[in-house]
Amino acid sequence: MGTLVIGGVTFLVAIIMVVGASFSLLAALGLLRFPDLYTRMHAASKAGTVGSGLLLVAAGLHSLEPAIFVRALAGFVFLVLTAPISAHLLAKAAHQAGYRMTKLSVIDQLPKKEEPRRH
């Protein structure tokens, strides 16, 4: 009975690792193929977060230790909460610094950078 459970966990870990690695590969392809800084950051933050989070969960599950699995889940939650927010703030800072969007982008919803007032 014990080897059946371990075999099932191993199969589940393998599936999660393949899905996580696929998301990480898509994030890397997005970094190479997307035309501007903003779409590249989107690929890295969204697909990269999901990919690395799934790989972290797979590692925690593979350990078969509840304490390690809980730490892996805590790391996954931390990644999901912080990576998209930091990418958003970096993109906002890049926009304020003057990095232009590609001509393929339809609309820019952020206001233009304001010039400082002189008295």
In a domain, 108, yes or no: no
In a domain, 75, yes or no: yes
In a domain, 73, yes or no: yes
In a domain, 109, yes or no: no
Q: N- to C-terminal Cα distance for the chain?
A: 80
In a domain, 13, yes or no: yes
* Count of domains for the chain: 1
Length of the chain as a residue count: 119
Q: HSE-up of 32 (CA within 13 Å, CB side)?
A: 6
In a domain, 69, yes or no: yes
In a domain, 116, yes or no: no
Whether 46 contacts 60, CB under 8 Å: no
d(CA 84, CA 94) in angstroms, rounded, equals 15
Is this structure's pTM higher than 0.85? no
In a domain, 112, yes or no: no
State which residues form the domain around 26. Answer: 2-97
Which residues lie below 8 Å from residue 36, measured CB to CB, with a gap of 6+? 99, 100, 101, 102, 105
Output the tens digit of pLDDT for each of the chain's 119 residues: 455 556 788 899 999 999 999 999 999 999 899 888 888 888 888 898 999 999 999 999 999 899 999 999 999 999 989 988 898 888 888 888 887 877 777 776 666 655 556 65
